[in-house]
Structure 1
């Protein structure tokens, strides 16, 4: 068992933003929410799934909606308590732990605030190994775990429960409710036993993010290089953000950023596209990286991640590519979260092939 206190939370907020591929919400907001809750209630235990009984219930929870809205529309802090009550009532079982639904930005950190409020541990796993924009893009769905019963709530105390036939139906219906709630809500879905979670989640992802954040903070000379070395990543382009086209539509933040190369990348120009998360990096018609691999823009000098809603003209960034967990490179997984699932007319090629060293 690892206890998550202020120091670990700082490392996690950085690492989760890296794995979030630009999405999951601003990690600074999640950091402050979790810091407050931990200061009030004490450190939150982070448990390996093997430390719990197989029949115990875990609750995957996240915030959903347009990341641009999350910057201004804050939760009340009690959302997870309402979701816990709704799912426990629907399942007839008592929750033993909270699980991050996605490892990304705000959603990789704020579950520790909810866990502190609920006096529950968090498990060292998540359902994506990164952040994805849609609720059917999970390892739980790939493993055949039922998305229902699901529950969602807003900061006003409204609660909606869902029972759907497929995860895609859950995404479509929940997205409509989320839009009605102001394009931001908190949701619990894929409630599952610990035994099921052992084969339906990406295990040890939280400690992996903590380790990445620690490496970034301790590498004073070359944090970008240290990050890439630690995670077998690739620095795809260094440059200045010269244009951002961003809009909030259908519950997502969609758009692109144009990056003009600087330094050793001078003369190059690349386009970074996103749907909450970064989905593809293209240079002169050539794909440098695409979903499901992780594409993250980080500050050129500090390696601190820049989430999509905070991309601005004039920023100096390095776009880093990280290979995704192998579970997402299967034929079935690529049908759910590969380039064609995002309406790109090309097939997925692994990051390592696109950028052979």
Structure 2
């Protein structure tokens, strides 16, 4: 990808929702925002991490808040533009490149719209390799970088600039501001240099999202189901096949929180599964025992089409396949597990890699 096409955006919207583990916001909203911005302001150039110059200034742009709220409050171009302008004003630095903070639904495509509006490139990479619910859950934090400046904007024209002490305070203050803004905001944070990006960014994730989406959107020329193709591409595993039997979901503390229960079908007919989520799926249990856990990726896919289903889009009776994929190696470090492992979210497990859990299940 050198210049984003409409087909690229269609594919990224789908693929990023798979990688977004149920979170990151409604992909349809992100797709329409990106397409509309390109049609109005012109095409967007894509550059790789290797193409960055050390002194270039890269700024992530994203949405913060509950995905359920974002469906009701679609950001305008004015809201998308305000945080970047405020960041440049406060920092005195001109943005050379924008980037996604995460690969997940709408948050993969908000920076596409911002890039189009400002006639600057977008970086093929992100700071999670998936989606996570909290602001400090980025590779920049794992590498000791701080969000020295954060800007937030809402649909009313309010813009807030903060200087947090570290990533945890950035999350706490920004989350409370976002709640005051009605549960969703547009954010710019973790501005970095090209040199820092080369060390911390997970490269190639927009391209990966495009490839995953391409498998789902393309014509079925292979006898192999798209879910199996995706699983192979991402070195993942099929954990469960079943029907959604009970969904408990609420907006709390600026997040969409809850759990979903599934009754098994076909080879899993005598089993049950439960997913626990905070915007994103964070823990999967089968018959009361863990089969995948954060920071590894857990995705819910439609049984027939393979299309991803978000935490706010899951409905009673949906027939799904629950899949999981290993997280990027940065998340499997001690710092990564401390930042986004199951204990952080108060689940009663120490982190066990997906491959180990799968092997244990197969050995029984």
For Structure 1 versus Structure 2, the TM-score category normalised by the shorter chain is over 0.9
**Aligned counterparts of 2:263 and 2:35: Cα–Cα separation in 1:** 37
Q: Is the 8 A contact 2:60 2:111 kept in 1?
A: no
Match of 2:281 among 278, 281, 291: 278
**CA 1:212–1:151 in structure 2 vs 1: closer, same or farther (change >3 Å)?**
same
Residue 269 of structure 2 corresponds to 266
Written as runs of structure 1 = structure 2, the 5 A alignment for 1:11-50 is 11-50=11-50
Residue 322 of structure 1 corresponds to 325
Give how far 1:219 is off: 6.1
Q: Is the 8 A contact 1:13 1:31 kept in 2?
A: yes
Give how far 1:49 is off: 2.4
Q: Is the 8 A contact 2:99 2:111 kept in 1?
A: yes
Give how far 1:332 is off: 1.1
Is the deviation greater in 76-85 or in 335-344? 76-85
Written as runs of structure 1 = structure 2, the 5 A alignment for 1:72-221 is 72-218=72-218, 220=220, 221=223
**Aligned counterparts of 1:262 and 1:47: Cα–Cα separation in 2:** 44
SS of the equivalent of 2:344 reads helix
**Aligned counterparts of 2:352 and 2:123: Cα–Cα separation in 1:** 32
**Aligned counterparts of 1:246 and 1:81: Cα–Cα separation in 2:** 32
| Number of equivalences | 357
Q: TM-score, length-normalised on structure 1?
A: 0.98
**Aligned counterparts of 1:84 and 1:111: Cα–Cα separation in 2:** 10
Runs of 5+ unmatched residues, structure 1: none
Q: Deviations over 1:186-214 (max 9, x none)?
A: 11110011111111111111111111111
Runs of 5+ unmatched residues, structure 2: none
SS of the equivalent of 2:141 reads helix
**Aligned counterparts of 1:317 and 1:43: Cα–Cα separation in 2:** 36
Kindly indicate whether residue 310 of structure 2 is the aligned counterpart of residue 291 of structure 1. Answer: no
Residue 66 of structure 2 corresponds to 66
SS of the equivalent of 1:23 reads coil
**Aligned counterparts of 1:90 and 1:41: Cα–Cα separation in 2:** 25
Q: Is the 8 A contact 2:61 2:110 kept in 1?
A: no
**Aligned counterparts of 1:326 and 1:50: Cα–Cα separation in 2:** 19
Q: TM-score, length-normalised on structure 2?
A: 0.96
Q: Is the 8 A contact 1:22 1:296 kept in 2?
A: yes
SS of the equivalent of 2:124 reads strand
Match of 1:309 among 291, 307, 312: 312
Give how far 1:216 is off: 2.2
Give how far 1:324 is off: 0.6
**Aligned counterparts of 2:193 and 2:156: Cα–Cα separation in 1:** 30
**Aligned counterparts of 1:43 and 1:302: Cα–Cα separation in 2:** 30
Give how far 1:113 is off: 1.4
Cα RMSD (Å): 1.2
**Aligned counterparts of 1:80 and 1:314: Cα–Cα separation in 2:** 36
Q: Is the 8 A contact 1:272 1:280 kept in 2?
A: yes
Moved runs in structure 1, 4+ residues, more than 4 A?
Answer: none
